[in-house]
């Protein structure tokens, strides 16, 4: 499934380059705090936009990890640490580089992820969940960038119920993951504040999935993305 999606996007790229004018996008990115799950929203949003537009839309999540690993000639488990901002220390990085032929530096992994996300963004007609898509696609004119947030207690309850954890463990997991995601994003955005990145910030506690999907769809229509 993943391979077919990426091949399709590469095919789109060739066709667009053959056209007289190539305009990147349209693309919608969804960033989220830990506990504010977005995959279902992205899937249903892509389906709804497909229904009302002349072009099919896809939602992109795990494909970025899989395609990045494929481009690097390594396994997903070898690069997944980057998304959690668990970067190798210099010493461990050096030791691993001598111990395996599939070794890839963190810098190369990040550049590859950036290239894959950029490709999906430029080909357009897609909703990208996470993976710093909001930064990588920021300069694409036909793009909107959504942020899902919620109060800490709400997110702790979501994680507690989902993974059957105690309140204390769930809270620790949320705070730790928030910090890791912030570190991952910082590599791409530096100290750029959120209000310079996101077009729309939605409260996951206050809105249902259907309400958020409809809000994003209407916003995309106003911005002439669909």
Tell me, yes or no, whether 16 lies in a domain: no
Instruction: Using alpha carbons, select from 156, 110, 117 the residue that is nearest to residue 140.
Output: 117
Tell me, yes or no, whether 4 lies in a domain: no
- Output the pLDDT for position 192: 65
Tell me, yes or no, whether 197 lies in a domain: yes
The residues, any chain, with a CB within 8 Å of residue 138's CB and separated by 6 or more, are 145, 197
- Output the pLDDT for position 78: 84
- Output the pLDDT for position 12: 60
CATH number of the domain encompassing residue 143: 3.40.50.300
Tell me, yes or no, whether 15 lies in a domain: no
Token pair 């729309």 is found at 200
From first to last of its 226 residues, the chain has per-residue pLDDT tens of 555 666 565 566 555 555 556 689 999 999 999 999 999 999 999 999 999 988 899 999 989 989 998 999 888 888 888 766 444 433 344 334 434 444 568 888 888 999 999 999 999 999 999 888 999 999 999 999 999 999 999 999 999 999 999 999 999 999 999 988 888 787 776 666 667 789 999 999 999 999 999 999 999 999 999 9
The residues, any chain, with a CB within 8 Å of residue 102's CB and separated by 6 or more, are 73, 74, 75, 78
Tell me, yes or no, whether 18 lies in a domain: no
Domain that holds residue 119: 24-222
Tell me, yes or no, whether 5 lies in a domain: no
- Domains of the chain: total: 1
Tell me, yes or no, whether 33 lies in a domain: yes
Tell me, yes or no, whether 147 lies in a domain: yes
- Is the omega angle on the peptide bond into residue 26 within 30 degrees of 0, that is, cis? yes
The residues, any chain, with a CB within 8 Å of residue 8's CB and separated by 6 or more, are none
């Amino acid at each position: 499934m993943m391979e077919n999606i990426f091949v399709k996007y590469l095919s789109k790229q060739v066709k667009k380059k053959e056209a007289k004018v190539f305009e990147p996008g349209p693309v919608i990115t969804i960033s989220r705090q830990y506990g504010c799950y977005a995959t279902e929203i992205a899937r249903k949003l892509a389906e709804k936009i497909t229904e009302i537009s002349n072009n099919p839309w896809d939602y992109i999540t795990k494909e970025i990890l899989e395609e990045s690993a494929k481009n690097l000639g390594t396994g997903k488990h070898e690069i997944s640490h980057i998304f959690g901002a668990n970067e190798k220390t210099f010493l461990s990085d050096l030791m691993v580089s001598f111990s395996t032929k599939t070794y890839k530096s963190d810098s190369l992994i990040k550049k590859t992820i950036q290239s894959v996300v950029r490709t999906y963004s430029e080909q357009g007609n897609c909703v990208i969940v996470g993976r710093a898509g909001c930064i990588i696609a920021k300069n694409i004119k036909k793009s909107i960038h959504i942020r899902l947030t919620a109060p800490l207690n709400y997110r702790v309850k979501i994680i507690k119920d989902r993974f059957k954890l105690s309140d204390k463990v769930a809270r620790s997991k949320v705070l730790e993951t928030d910090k890791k995601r912030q570190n991952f994003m910082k590599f791409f955005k530096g100290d750029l504040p959120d209000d310079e990145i996101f077009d729309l910030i939605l409260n996951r506690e206050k809105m249902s999935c259907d309400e958020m999907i409809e809000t994003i769809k209407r916003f995309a229509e106003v911005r002439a993305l669909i």
